[in-house]
Amino acid sequence: MRIFFAALLLFTCTAKIFAQQTKPGYEIKVTTDYKNVQLYLGNYFGKRKQLADSAMADARGTAIFKGEKKLAHGIYFIVSPQRVIMFDILIDKNQHFSLASDSTKPDQTKFSGSPDNDVFQNYTAFLAKISPVLSSLQQQLKTAPNKEDSAAISKQLMASAAQLTNYRNDVMNKQPNTMLATLLQVAKIPDRPQIPMRSDGTLDSSYPFYYVKDHYWDNVDFNDSIILYTPFFEPKLEDYFKLYVSPDPDSIINEVNYMLLASRNNAQVHTFLLGKFTDKYINPEFMGQDKVFLFLFENFYARGDTSWLNEKQRKYIFDRAYSLMANQINDQAPPLVLTDTSGSTVSLYDIKAPLTFVAFWDPHCSHCQLQIPRLDSFYKAKWKAEGVKIVAVCVNDYVVDDWKKFITEHNLDGWYHAYETKEKKTEIEQAKQADYRQLYDIIQTPTFFLLDENKRIIAKGLSLDQYDGLIDKKIKTSSQ
C-alpha cells in the first residue's frame, strides 16, 4: 500500500509540474515594495533593451504580467516606475511563477515555481559578492606602488577570477540542463592554452589564437533563438569578427556563410544575422569588404530571402547591390565615353598609363572645392612625373560653365576633363541602360577610383593621402 501511495504521490507531483509547464501563455506574479504604480517587464535583444509588458502594482505591491502567448526564452528584467532595471529574471518553458523582491536588495529575490530562476538567483547572489572584489583588485592593480605589491595583487585577482570561473564551470558541468548553463555556454570565451612546442623544438606561438578561434562557438546553437535574448551574444559576435577573422573579404564570407547556413532552421536568428551582416558590409569600414554584401545579396536576397523586409528596405538593398556589382576591387572598370571641355570625345580605355586616377566631382560641392585642388597638388608634385593620368568627370551637366571656370581658375592642367551631355544622358535613359553614376556607385562627391594599366580597379573609397601612399607603393614595386 505504501508503494502505491508513493507512486501516486510521484505521479501527482509530476502531473502538476507537467500541467504547469503546459499552461498557455504566461503569468508572472511580481511582489515588490512599489505600490499602486506601474511596473514593466523588459527583455534583452542583441545589444538593445525592449519593453515586453507592463502591469499595475496593487496596494500590496503585487503586479501580474500576463499574456495569451508564450514569451521568447531568454533574459528578462523588471523595471521600476522610474524606468530603472531592478533585477534580471529568466524566462524558460515554465512561464507561470511568482517572485518577491525588495528594490534595495535585488540579489535576495525569492522565486516560487521556477527552478531555473532559483539557480539563476544563486548565481546572481554569488556575482554580487565576487564582482566588487574583482573591481577593487583591478583598481588596486592600476595604482600598485611597486612590483612586489603588483605581483601580490595579481595573485589575488587571479584567485578571485578562478572562483568565478569555477562557479560557472560547476553550473555547466553539474547542472547542464538548466537555462543558466545554456546561457553560460553562449557567453563563454575559450581560455587561451599555453603555447605548445613543436616536434622540432620551436614554440607554436599561433596555436593559442587558433585554438580560441576554433572553439569560440562550441556549444552555441545558432538554431536556438535564446541566443538573441541575451545582452552578450551580439558583443561576442562582434568581438569574433574583430579579433579572430581576417578583414579579407573572402575570409569574412566563409564565416558569415557558415553562420547563416547554421541558423537556416531558425527564422529569427537567421534574419537577425543576415540583417546585421548586411548593415555592416553594405557600406563597410574597409575597402573591398562590400564584396561581402554582394555575396549576401546574390546568395540570399536575390534568391528570395526578402519576406522580412519592407518595400523601402528591399529597394535600398537591391539598388545598392546593382550599384556595387560593376566596381569591385580587381574587376575591370566600367567604360567611360564622355565629352571634354572642347566638345571632343574622351574614352577611358583609350588613355594609356601605368595608373589612372578617376575623380567624379561637382564644382558646387564644398568638399570637392577643397579636395580637387589637393588632388592637383599631388598630381603636380609627384604623380605626373610617375606617368599617372587623371580623368576628372563633372557629374552634373547643368553646371558646365561653373565647372569650366573652376578648371581655369585652379589651373587644373594635364588632366582629362569630361562630362556627360544632356543628349547622351537622355539616350542612355531611353535605352534603359545603366549610366556611369550607377556603374561607379556615385552616391556622393567627390568619389575617387585608382585603376591599373589594364583599367582594373585597384582601390576606391580612400582618402587622397591613402591614394598617394598606394601610388608610391605601386610605382616602387613596378620599378624593381
Q: What is the CATH number of the domain that holds 415?
A: 3.40.30.10
Are residues 470 and 358 part of one domain? yes
pLDDT at 11: 43
Query: What is the average pLDDT across 467-478?
Result: 89
In a domain, 11, yes or no: no
| Whether pLDDT at 107 is above 80 | no
User: What is the per-residue pLDDT across 387-421, written as a single tens digit (0 to 9) for each?
Assistant: 999 999 999 989 999 999 999 999 999 999 999 99
**299-310 pLDDT tens trace:** 999 998 888 999
Would you say residue 313 lies in a domain? Answer: yes
6 is a domain residue: no
pTM greater than 0.75:
yes
User: Is 353 inside a domain boundary?
Assistant: yes
**Which of these three, 89, 113, 137, is where a domain ends?**
113
Residue 435 in domain: yes
In this prediction, residue 50 carries a pLDDT of 95
Domain that holds residue 156: 122-187
CA distance 255 to 143: 41
Task: Say yes or no to pLDDT of 319 above 50.
Answer: yes
Domain boundary among 296, 324, 352: 324
The reply to whether 133 and 43 lie within a common domain is no
pLDDT for the residue numbered 165:
93
pLDDT at 21: 52
Residue 480, pLDDT score = 64
Q: Tell me the pLDDT tens digit for each residue of 182-238.
A: 999 999 999 999 999 999 999 999 999 999 999 999 999 999 999 999 999 999 999
Residues 346 and 431 in one domain: yes
Domain count, the chain: 4
Q: Give the domain-ending residue among 324, 358, 374.
A: 324
395 and 429 fall within a common domain: yes
Q: 228 and 293 in one domain?
A: yes
Question: Same domain for 424 and 356?
Answer: yes
**Are 345 and 254 in a shared domain?**
no
User: Are 305 and 353 contained in the same domain?
Assistant: no
Residues 280 and 308 in one domain: yes
* 473 and 344, same domain (yes or no): yes
Query: Is 155 part of any domain?
Result: yes
pLDDT in tens, 25-81: 999 999 999 999 999 999 999 999 999 999 999 999 999 999 999 999 999 999 999
Q: Is the pLDDT of residue 7 over 70?
A: no
Q: Is residue 200 part of a domain?
A: no
Are 148 and 48 in a shared domain? no
Q: Is residue 462 part of a domain?
A: yes
**pLDDT confidence of residue 428:** 92
Percent of the chain exceeding pLDDT 70 equals 95
Q: Are residues 352 and 312 in the same domain?
A: no
Q: Which three cell numbers stand for residue 231?
A: 545582452
